[in-house]
Every structure is written in C-alpha cells, then in structure tokens.
Structure 1
Amino acid sequence: MKEYNIKEPLIDYPWKMDAIRIINWLKEQPKEYRAFVFDLCMSLAYIDSTSGLERHLQTCPSCPSGFNSHIGFINLCSPCYEKNGTWQYQKATKPQSGALGKLSSEMILKFVEILFDEFTEVYSIGGTETADARLVHKDGKTILAEVKSAPLLTFPLLVKSNQASDKHLPCTLTSSQFRELESAIYMHNGEAIPLGTVKSDNWPFQPVADFLTNNANKERIISMSNIWNKARLAYENKDRNSPFYYLANASGGPPKIAKERDGWPQKESISDSKTSAGMDRTDDIKKGIYQVLKLGVINKDNPNIETALISNLPAYRHRKDYVDPFIELLWSTENSLEKNDDFEYIKKDNLKYIFDHLITLDSPILR
C-alpha cells in the first residue's frame, strides 16, 4: 500500500505567513513580476535552508551599501563582477539538496494557489504517491501534477562583518557571532534589500515582505524587476555578450579572460546545466512528460481527472525541441478502438492530451 500525505504547501515553515504576504502583494502587481518574485522567494529559501552559513562567508571589497562580506549561490562573486568586471571565483554555497527540492516544489505550489483563480484547492503530495501535487479546478475536475521548478537568478546574501578586507578571504565567525550581524539580499546593479540582523524573527522572509509591501519602494522594485528580465533574456537567447548572462543559473564557464587575467580555476564553471531555470533541464523535461503520461494512463477511465506539468518558468531553451511537440499530442489505448465496415477509429471523448495544462508563471497553457 502506498504511503503519502497531502498537505497545504509551506505549512511546515515558520515564515510561511510572510511568504503568503509577499504572494498576496504580488497578485496585485503586473504579471511580469511573478517569476522575478518567485526567484526572490527561492533565494530567501536558499539562505534559510543552508546550514552553517557563517562557514561560507567571505570578505568582499565590492559590496554596496556599507556591506563588506558575501555569500553566493553561483561560483562567481557578482558584486566584484558588476563593480569591477572582475571574475572572482567564490565557491557556491549549496543548500541541502533534499530539503531544497521539497521547498522549491511547495513554493511554486503556493504561488499557483494564490495567483491562479482557476484553482480552488492546491495540495502538495509527499511520500511515494505518483503525483507531486493535487489541484482542484473551479469546474470541479481534479488535476494531478508533476512539479519541476528552479530559479533563474539566485540572489546572494550580503553581511556587515568586522573583518573587512580589500581581498576575498574567509571570515572566521562562530554561529552566534554571525547571528548578530546586519544582512541584506543583493538584487544586482548595486541594489540590496535590507534583511536586518540574522537572528531576527522569521528571517529572512519578513524583512522582504515589509520591503515589497511598502509603496515607498515602488521605483526600486521596478528597477530590480528590470534587471531580472535582462538576465532572463540573456539566459533564453544564450547571449554571452550580455553582462547579465553570467549572473543567471546554467551559464556554464566564464570567458577566457577569467582564467588568464583573474586566476579562475581551470576546471570550474560559474554554474552548470543542472541549475537550468524552471523545467529547462532536459532530464527533468523527459521525466516530467513521462510522469504526466503515467498519471494519465493510471487514471484513463476517470473523466474527472486531468494532468499538468507545473514550474515557475517554461523551458526557454529546450521548449521547441522537448515540449512543443507534445502540447497538441493526443493519445488513447488499443481497447478504445471501435470498428465499422471500412476502418477502425477512436472517438474524440476517448482521446487525451499528454498533459492537459502547463502551469507556469510565464506563458502558461491552461486548456
């Protein structure tokens, strides 16, 4: 017998009400903000789910706003890259992968629950159940979904330590010392959202919820969103001439000058294809399409069940080759064949889509 539990997304996290506050604010904003704010929330989740943050902290002379130390989630120090054009290698901080996968799935489901009025209920499914999520459409149908989500940009953490240096050097701090320090999340282009002290209640989500919902920050938020969109375009078009290309995940290795001039380690990338945005990792696309087809086959005799792929972003780089051919594809089973004197046929009611919905924050397909 299968063991699984169905629950409300993010129910287990102490900062969930601040995440909900952010998404409720987002619902009243332009739709172009949606994927950007998802990345912001996932960056906060990266910070929250990384144990021993103080062990990854390095001094950085390029930090803005009086900050002097940096933790990043790609191998490139983005403040140094943006301020001086320096390819400063700093080993990426890696959250616990198991916890992060669960959190990423629940985060996008909470976004879908609040932002899409088509769905009246959204639940995360844990354990060994075939589907990752169960949604209820307003027409009464149940949607079983496979979830594949990953941020395009993972924004770094900035800290004010007492160990400033004109070089990148490890900070030597205990966890209790680290908890007393002022922090911010770096939004690129010299912009940062203050997070207060590390030990603050519901850190780091509450300070960001306060920042976004403060109308005085409207212009700054527009600027931050524009930077994210430039990175998205560079990622989608693989535009290595854009300075924003190397800030995004799955940017590969740096240019030749990084090794020749700045001493970049020979075999290190900035970030590899495993960090592709949304559902853009080819292994995830293949598994996702198989999983929704399996869900369809298992429930083929139940007309009240539909299937979906859910992600924060569509497969920008691989959609044409890996996703588009399946969007209009219909399937059925051999026992659905009916005969007349001249030929065999399948009634339209017995044909099903590979996936009924492709639910993403950008360019969703909702049948």
Structure 2
Amino acid sequence: MTAKQTPLYETHQKYGGKMVEFGGWLLPVQYTGILDEHKTVRAKAGLFDVSHMGEVLVKGPDALAFLQKLVTNDVARIADTQVQYTPMCYPDGGTVDDLLIYRRSQAEYFLVINAANIDKDWQWLQENSAGFQVELTNLSAVTAELALQGPMAETILSKLTDAPLAGLPYYWFIPETIVAGKKVMVSRTGYTGEDGFEIYCHPQEAVDLWEAVMEAGKPYGLMPAGLGCRDTLRFEAALPLYGHELSATITPMEAGLCKFISLDKGEFNGRNVLAQQKQAGLKRKIAGFAVTGRGIPRAEYPVVCEGKTIGSVTTGSYAPTLDKNIGLALMEAGYAKIGQKIAIEIRGKQVPAEVIPKPFYRKGKQS
C-alpha cells in the first residue's frame, strides 16, 4: 500500500524536510535537525504539519449521550467552544484511542483522532452509534491542520488575524475566523508542552497558510518542525502516544490518566474494568525513569529489578531540554515508586536507572 501524502508534501521538500513513513503517511521527520527544532519550539516557535490527523463530526439530538457512552471523560462538563482531552475504551478497559472533543453545541461535536487509528476509530464510532439519534461524518480527507507551537506562537499568529487570541484560554477554540485571508478554525491546543495553536483549514488552503505563518514568524525565529521533535517534545511533557503508553492492552488508568476518567458520570465502555482497577489498585502502571548509566532507552527494552523483568519501556529518548536519557515504562506497580533503583536492558547490558516523577518538563520548569 502506498503511503499517503498531506497537501504540504511538496512544501516540506522545498523546506528541506527529510520524509519518512508514519502511520501510513509520508511526513517530515526533521528539517535542520531534531535537536535544533526541539530547542526552537521550547524557546521560540515551530510550525508542524499535522494534516494526517483524523477528524469526525458528531451531530444530532443524542450526540452528547452517544459520546458519554464512548469516552471516559465527562463530556457534559464542557461548554460551547471548549476542547476536552479524553481516552476512548473498549468494554474490557483497553484503549481504542485518545482524542480531542471540540464542543460546538450540545448537538454538535468535532473529534480529532490519531492518524494511524482513523479507519479503526471510524468503524468503532459507527458500531457504537446504534440506538442513538446521531449523524457521523468522517471529515479526515477534507481537513488539513497546522500546529504553531512555542512561546512566540501567539505573537506570530496575531500578525495574521484579528481573532482575540490573547483572550483565548488553553483548551478553548474559535469555531470560525480568518487567518491570512483564509476561513479557519483555531484552537489553543497542542502536543508539545508549550503554548500554541492548532489551525484547521481546507486542504487546498494549507500551503498558503503554511507560507503565511512562516513569513510572519521570520522575525521571531520560527522554524518548520518535524515528527522527530514532535515526539521528543510530547515525551518530555509525558504526554501519551497511542501504541506506546496507550493501546488495546493498556488501560487509561494504567497509563496514569485517571483525571480524564469520570467514573461517576454513568455507564460508558470500559467503566466496570476501570472502576475495579481503581478500587483494587493497579498491578502495573506507566512510570517515568532516568538512566543513571550510559545508554539511550528505546521502546520495548526490558525493565529489570533484583534480577527479574518487571516491565518494558514504552518510550525512551535523550531529552534535549533536560540533557538526560529518560523514558516511560509500563512496569509492575510495586516498583513504580519515586527513587526506586531499576535497570534497563540496553543491547544485552543492564544499565542502571531510577524512577523519577513525571511530567519531566513543565512550561517554564524542568525536573
């Protein structure tokens, strides 16, 4: 199967993007270099193409009731033009996906889902819609998305729009506004641990928007940013990546996402299992660690303690902001205590490490 291209494929090549396949899409892993782009997003701003993400519109009198059954968070708590992060579970508590819900009204919601899960999620939404008065529309093919992230994001975007960005709180959105002469939706969201905006537009307007944002950002040091630094940025902020910290076999409770699980809202897929996990205590959980020896941990490397394997790494990397080799691992809960000495098996060698608090990085602070 040939990999899909976003509307910005040729633009990435023009900017020197090194293209790789990710979740069935050809996307830039880097331009000037992962480290350079990572540091620029933390200090100034970076522009990402996230047009591979999936989008689904949920409309109808039962839209709220339908979403309440599907996801773990309490959708009734969000107001019009507010955004909510939530996992979505199978009845056995395993994770179908994690997504963003944009509430346009009580009868209309816009969902943003992970690129690699579009087909699976679309099928799951349709299967679960039986008995609900809802209309589902898969908008993935007709929606492009840019993410402008970093402390200079508001300054840069303000050059291209009259929208009241300064008054837009984190996790709220403007359903319709004009940016660089194009009609778009803008939200104050992102996946980097920094301030920033995500801009949703028609695919035919993505190139013009990209160029306009890059031009406006020139005086502020804006750089195009690839998937490589998107991963190191989200990882420093300990934001989960589906297929790593969340999966069909890892529940949101095990992933440490309990604040996005509303057990008191009524029935929803996976509720019984998640409630049981909370009550009985977790057998395993995602924990953060820092390598104290030499070596970079990678996904699936074994985690060892006292001669036995107690889990495996879900994400591991050099963290540029912290200048440390760190990781996230799914491990036996008894060992997931801050300060616990563990070892990561790196190419057959047991390298010493220690469990540390997460997130590893908070805007303006680092651990």
TM-score (norm 1): 0.31
User: Which structure dedicates a bigger proportion of its chain to strand?
Assistant: 2
User: Which structure dedicates a bigger proportion of its chain to helix?
Assistant: 1
